[in-house]
Amino acid sequence: MLRRELLLGLATLAGGCGPRRLSPPPAAPRVVSAAELIPPDLDVIVRMDLARMKTALGGLTAQALSREVLSREVLSRAAPKDSEDADPFVVDSLLAADVVYLGYRPSPLLLPLDRVLALQGHFPPLTKAPPGFSGLVDLGADVRYWDRRPETEPQRSATFRIYAVGERVRAFVSEAELDAVERSLSGLAGPPPLAAPEEGALSLAARPRLLGKLAGSTLRQLLEDSKTLELVVDLEADTASLRVALVTGSPEQASALASAGQRALERALGERAGHAELRAVAERVLLSIKLSRQELAPLVACLGAPSASAGECSW
């Protein structure tokens, strides 16, 4: 009996010393749309349908828009202070994009700090690391990334990592958003992120408390207490229309905000305020405007370019 127990014990020990079964590798990320790379912790999400803009504005005009508006107003903030132009690789990627998503966390002045710029389109294959970036890391399922070389010291909002999903998605991620993007890729991102509406030539989703910093004292508190803000701009032959939907905490708050907003619209648009319709529906405040592109441009600038001065956007 003792001999039998001894043999069983030796067999058990021998089994424990054998090769261990390795756990399966993590599943490769599955990315269908560039929007999936925008993590949930960012406060402003902007979507630009460049393909639609090229159709509405013409190819040359859209190309100029891409270079001037996107590179100077958005990307130059991510470039080193001694650089006047945006990274040519980023600009070339923008010009090849059909849809652009920009998610960011704004500074106290509402300028982008931490950000993710995700592009969807038809890009040439990346056969080598982009200038200033390290060698390839392959995550599987045609998802790859490159990190900025350690000898460079980018600004906080500069691109630290470039993701590529085949030839259809590219993303430029600042350092603070690396963990959030990795969680999104692994399916562990938590609550869904803000999502700009998938319609119009330009759309935006933001946390209204941020817009409150641009508003006058009458609107500020009402905006800061609201939940979500969505904006859609459509381009037509000679006109542009803007639609805004703001979700508040109660019908009473929506009614008060609509009343205050009407007065702000009259100050901002003057005699053109008659082109706008502003109303409260339950907890939502709905605004629609149809103007010429020249008339609409200053209003969109106030909503989408927080660097505008208080005098230009004194609502």
Instruction: Look at residue 268 and give its three-state secondary structure.
Output: helix
**What is the spatial distance between Cα 138 and Cα 244, in angstroms, rounded to a whole number?**
41
Give pLDDT tens digits for 216-236. 555 666 677 778 889 998 887
Residue with tokens 């909503």: 303
Neighbours of 237 (CB within 10 A): 5
CB 45 within 8 A of CB 100: no
Give the class (CATH, top level) of 207-306: alpha beta
CB 125 within 8 A of CB 142: no
- What is the reported pLDDT for 145? 95
With vertex at residue 261, the alpha carbon angle to CA 255 and CA 265, rounded to the nearest 5 degrees, is: 145
- What is the reported pLDDT for 228? 86
Helix pair 293-304, 251-269: axis angle to 10 deg: 130
**What is the spatial distance between Cα 94 and Cα 76, in angstroms, rounded to a whole number?**
13
Neighbours of 260 (CB within 10 A): 20
**What is the spatial distance between Cα 115 and Cα 124, in angstroms, rounded to a whole number?**
24
pLDDT of 76 > 70? The answer is: no
Give pLDDT tens digits for 117-149. 999 999 999 888 998 898 899 998 899 999 998
pLDDT of 116 > 50? The answer is: yes
pLDDT of 214 > 60? The answer is: no
Which tokens hold the place of 83? 């650089």
CB 242 within 8 A of CB 288: yes
| Percent with pLDDT over 70 in the chain | 67
- What is the reported pLDDT for 10? 42
Q: What is the mean pLDDT of residues 1-5?
A: 49
Among 10-19, 29-38, 110-119, 244-253, name the one with the lowest average pLDDT: 10-19
Give the predicted TM-score (pTM) of the model. 0.78
Check residue 194 and report its DSSP letter: P
Query: What's the Rg (C-alpha) of the chain?
Result: 25
Task: State the virtual CA torsion across 103, 105, 111, 116 in degrees, nearest 10.
Answer: -30
pLDDT of 273 > 80? The answer is: no
Q: Give CATH 3.30.1360 domain extents, the chain.
A: 207-306
Burial environment of residue 233 by CB neighbours within 10 A (0 to 12, 13 to 18, 19 or more) = buried
Kind and range of the H or E element at 49? strand 44-49
Q: For residue 118, what are the β-bridge partners?
A: 101, 171
Which tokens hold the place of 162? 């470039």
pLDDT of 286 > 70? The answer is: yes
